[in-house]
Homo-oligomer: A and B are copies of this chain.
Amino acid sequence: MAVNRRELLIGGALAGLGLAGVSPGRAGEAPAEPERKQAVLKISSQEGAIPGKDLNEKLDKMEKWGIEGLEIGGAVGREKSLPEALKDRKIKVSAVCMGSLGGRLVSPDNAAREKAAEELKRHLTAAGEVGSTGCIYVPCFNGEQDRNDQEVRKLLAESETGKDLAKVIGYRNAEIRKIAVDMLGPIGEHALKCNTRVLLEPLNRGEAWFLRQVGDAAAIARDCKNMGVCVMGDFYHMGIEEPSNMGAFIAGGQWLHHVHLASRSRVMPGQDKEDEANYLSGFRGLKHIGYQDFCSFECGCRGNKDEGIPKAVAFLREMWEKATI
C-alpha cells in the first residue's frame, strides 16, 4: 500500500505537481548550535494602538511606558516627516504594516502582477527611508486571488456555460506559492538595496488560508534565496494556527524579523488567561534564535488604555525574564 505509493517517488521525487520551482538542494541548516547573539526584548506599538490626540502625544506616552518602536501603516508620504518627528526621541520605526495589495502580486494576470511589484517596491523604498526593519506583506487574503468554494458555487449556479469559470476559480494555493516565490525574489533584492525587507505575515485560516504558519512563511522566504524576503509572527494568529509558539519561532529562525503582540483574543498581552503559557513558549523560541528585532502591539485593549498598555509592558518583561531556554 504505502510501500507502493512511495516506490514511485524514490528516484524521480521532485517531478510532481507544484515542485517545478523547488530546488532539490536547500540551504543546509547550521551543523551545530550556531553562535547567536543574546536575544533582546524591544517593545513597539502600532501607531493606532496608543492613545493620544497626535503623534507627539502618543510618542510621549510610549517613552513614558518604555516602548521603543513605532509601527506605522505606511511610509509613503512620511519619508521626511516621520524621521523629523522622531529625531530627538529614543523611539525608532519598527515596521511598516502594509497589507496585501489586493493579492495582485500573485494574480493570474501578468500585468497586474508587475504593477503590484512596482507598488511594493515603492513601499519598500519608503520603508527603508524611515529605517523600518521591513514592510509587512500578506500575499493573498481569502477571496482575493484564492477564490473560495462558496463564491465558485454561486457562480456555477448562475452560469449557463463553464467558459467563464476559469476566471472565478482563480489561482490555486500551489500555484500561488510558485508565483509568490518567482515574484518576491527580485523584490527582495530591491528591499536589500533599501536596507529593509519584505516581511511575509502568516494569518489565521479565517483571513488567509494560503499562509497560516510561521514555518511555512519561512520556507517561502528560504526558497526566494535572498534575505530581502523574510517573515514575521503574530501571537494572535499563532494562537489559532500554531501548536507551539516556540516551535514556530525556531522555524522562523534567521528569517524572523518582526513580531506582533496580542492576547489570545487580540487584546493586550496578559489580558487573557492563556497568555502566560503562550508568551513563555514564544519567548523561549525568540531567545533560542537570538532575536534582535521588535515585538509590536497589534491589538485592542480591554478597559482603559492608559492603564492597560503599561500593564501589558510589565507582563511582557516578566514573561521575558521567566522564559528560560
Contact = CB atoms under 8 A, between A and B. Distances in A.
Given A153-B166, A251-B248, A219 B206 contact: no
A5 B275 CA distance: 24
B218 A243 contact: yes
Contacts of A24: 264-265
A49 B25 CA distance: 24
Interface residues of A, number: 105
A242 B215 contact: yes
A3 B162 contact: no
Contacts of A228: none
Nearest to A216: B213
A240 interface: yes
A175 B150 CA distance: 11
A274 interface: yes
A98 B2 contact: yes
Given A16-B207, A32-B322, A152-B169, 13 more contacts: A3-B47, A7-B48, A14-B240, A17-B148, A18-B142, A18-B205, A26-B274, A156-B163, A161-B162, A215-B243, A216-B241, A243-B255, A251-B251
